[in-house]
Amino acid sequence: MEITLKLTQLDPSVRARLAVLLRMTKTRTRLCLGILALFASAFVAQAAETIPPKPDRYFNDYAGVVSSGAAQRFNEQLAQFERETSDQVLVVVYHTMQSDSSIDDYTRRVAQAWGVGQKNQRNGVVLFVFVDDRKMFIQVGYGLEGALPDFTAFDITERHIKPLFRNQDYEGGIATGIDLICKAIRGEYKGSGKTTRESGSSQNNPAGLLVFFFVLVIILLAMRASRRFGGYRYTGGGGPFVSGNWGSGGGWSSSSSGGGFSGFSGGGGSFGGGGAGSSW
Amino acid sequence: MNKGLIGCLGIGAIILFVVLVGGCAVAGSYNRLVGLQQKVDQSWAQVQNVYQRRADLIPNLVNTVQGAANFEKSTLTEVTNARASVGRVQIDPNHAPTDAAKLQEFQQAQGQLSNALSRLLVVSERYPELRATQNFQNLQAQLEGTENRISVERGNFNSAVQEYNVAVRTFPTNLFAGMFGFQPRPFFEAQAGAEKPPTVNFNFGSPAPAATAAPTP
């Protein structure tokens, strides 16, 4: 609703000017102006909300309030937590919230878009901190709502993190938050000893494999048919070569300690609106 | 061979082929409709789940608030009555409603409870000692969380119903959908007047307790 209001507020003066311009110019220029206007309006409309891009690590400080040593420590702590429990816990610190919606609604959609947590267990938790807005929120995935219910999340943000944030101790506040969140949800699920990125499992492999086998069968049938009519032999030398390629193809997605840090890959978990937050 | 016989067989084979292909297509569409209907029922069950969760929080909330000295009785009774009327609405939690009027009735009852609850929370602003208690703050966090869950599940339900309705209404599925008993389903609509905040009438007859609470640090 707000977006259309902005445009109609622009319209009266712009419309008058456009009318004068249009009377003087040719059709081609009118077309260019029209396209320009479309682009301009699209730009205005998009400014209402942005879903930030999926982060690459478990601990992401886009506001620069935590030292790099602590950031590294937090990242490893959370990566290790995923190895042990399969729960994906993320911490993201931004300057401000890029949305006109409420914090619980916006952060849920962001967490859902990032697919934090394993797909079947839905065990993702994201701690959002907006430093300039002085607001934070813990989003809890469906699978962890029992272990980390709303009043526990509220207790963590209000009574443990908030006092430290009030004193500008962001590092201490975040450390406390991470420890308490992990303590609450540990034991709910078992980990596999590897993070999602390390195990290199991607959901589209099975479908790709099926397509590959299908294509292989068609090629083999076509070869057999051509042999019957063409009369020359073709050994199945193409088979092992192609399947070998696929085997290495599965391995390229795992990067683990590429740049000296443990990377995060979303498992496809979903969020139902559980969690709580505070402002300081 | 008799050319006429071969011709008849040929036409017969073509007709059979067309019927088989048509049959498979219909079966495929039917299965898809069944799947979508299941999804709708599943989302409905989730919606009922989160509404029930809210209803379960009410007694706890009423007890906590009653403990506060001289809390507005009218607000409390309003919440209790709204919760009771929600319980009275006969609705099947396992199957999404097929009747728009039934869904409207359900939505209205829940809306009444929502209004009563928000009035309660607004009135509690006048009782700082109550708001300072951990119990009340926890309950407030839980209620807010439940309201979030309700809007999420209603959104999911609406998308499931939209998907199903589109499948039922598009050509050529709509030709036989009615025959098999697949009707378009109603979904949650924004209540008229939802954009206006609930009115709060403060009962100035009984004065609020003298607030000598220390300012929060």
Nearest to B174 by CA among B24, B21, B182: B182
Sheet holding A124-130, edge to edge: A59-61, A88-94, A124-130, A135-141, A271-279
Which of A35-44, A149-158, B187-196 has the highest mean predicted lDDT (pLDDT)? A149-158
- Closest-CA residue in chain A for B134? A155
Q: Specify whether A218 is located in the same domain as A177.
A: no
In chain A, how many domains are there?
3
Domains and CATH numbers, chain B: 3-180 (1.20.1440.20)
- The answer to whether position A200 is within a domain reads no
For residue B134, the model assigns a pLDDT of 84
- The answer to whether position A273 is within a domain reads yes
Tell me the average pLDDT across A42-55: 72
For residue A239, the model assigns a pLDDT of 43
pLDDT at A60 over 70: yes
For residue A172, the model assigns a pLDDT of 93
Q: Specify whether A110 is located in the same domain as A178.
A: yes
Q: Specify whether A137 is located in the same domain as A273.
A: yes
For residue A30, the model assigns a pLDDT of 66
Decide if B138 touches A, using CB distance below 8 A: yes
Tell me the average pLDDT across A43-69: 83
Tell me the average pLDDT across B163-178: 86
Residue A109, domain CATH: 3.10.310.50
For the ranges A109-123, B4-18, B192-206, the lowest mean pLDDT is seen at B192-206
Shortest Cα distance from B151 to chain A (angstroms)?
8
Probe site for chain B from A1, A104, A139 (most B CB atoms < 10 A): A104
Tell me the average pLDDT across A229-246: 47
- Closest-CA residue in chain B for A273? B149
CB A105 within 8 A of CB B151: yes
Q: Specify whether A97 is located in the same domain as A129.
A: yes
For residue B123, the model assigns a pLDDT of 85
CA atoms within 13 A on the CB side of A205: 13
Q: Specify whether A143 is located in the same domain as A102.
A: yes
For the ranges A102-111, A204-213, B58-67, the lowest mean pLDDT is seen at A204-213
- The answer to whether position A252 is within a domain reads no
More confident residue, A269 or B215: A269
Predicted TM-score (pTM) of the model is 0.70
pLDDT at B209 over 80: no
Spell out which residues of chain B touch residue A104, defining contact as CB-CB under 8 Å: 144, 148
- The answer to whether position A247 is within a domain reads no
Spell out which residues of chain B touch residue A108, defining contact as CB-CB under 8 Å: 148, 152
- The answer to whether position A224 is within a domain reads yes
Q: Specify whether A38 is located in the same domain as A108.
A: no
- The answer to whether position A255 is within a domain reads no
CB A134 within 8 A of CB A166: no
For the ranges A70-79, A95-104, B174-183, the lowest mean pLDDT is seen at B174-183
Q: Specify whether A34 is located in the same domain as A74.
A: no
Decide if B137 touches A, using CB distance below 8 A: yes
Q: Specify whether A111 is located in the same domain as A185.
A: yes
Neighbours of A87 (CB within 10 A): 30
Q: Specify whether A27 is located in the same domain as A77.
A: no
A77 is in which domain, residue-wise? 59-195+262-279
Q: Specify whether A83 is located in the same domain as A134.
A: yes
Note whether A104 contacts B152, CB cutoff 8 Å.
no
For residue B26, the model assigns a pLDDT of 86
CB A185 within 8 A of CB A148: yes
CB A15 within 8 A of CB A73: no
Spell out which residues of chain B touch residue A155, defining contact as CB-CB under 8 Å: 138
Decide if A275 touches B, using CB distance below 8 A: yes
Look over chain B and give the mean of its residue pLDDT values, rounded to a whole number.
83
CB B149 within 8 A of CB A274: yes
For residue B135, the model assigns a pLDDT of 84
Confidence category of residue A241, pLDDT binned at 50, 70, 90: very low
Cα B28–B31–B32 angle (5° rounding)?
85
More confident residue, A72 or A34: A72
Q: Specify whether A9 is located in the same domain as A71.
A: no
pLDDT at A43 over 80: no
Shortest Cα distance from B86 to chain A (angstroms)?
23
- The answer to whether position A251 is within a domain reads no
pLDDT at A237 over 80: no
Tell me the average pLDDT across A202-208: 54
| Model ipTM value | 0.73
More confident residue, A222 or B15: B15
For residue A73, the model assigns a pLDDT of 93
Q: Specify whether A103 is located in the same domain as A124.
A: yes
Tell me the average pLDDT across B44-69: 87
Cα A25–A26–A32 angle (5° rounding)?
90
Percent with pLDDT over 90 in chain B = 24
Confidence category of residue A248, pLDDT binned at 50, 70, 90: very low
Which tens digit of pLDDT belongs to each residue from B101-150? 889 899 999 999 998 888 888 888 888 888 888 888 888 889 889 999 99
Confidence category of residue A139, pLDDT binned at 50, 70, 90: very high
- The answer to whether position A249 is within a domain reads no
CA pair distance B76, A257, nearest whole angstrom = 58
Which of A214-223, B9-18, B183-192 has the highest mean predicted lDDT (pLDDT)? B9-18
More confident residue, A60 or B74: A60
pLDDT at B158 over 90: yes
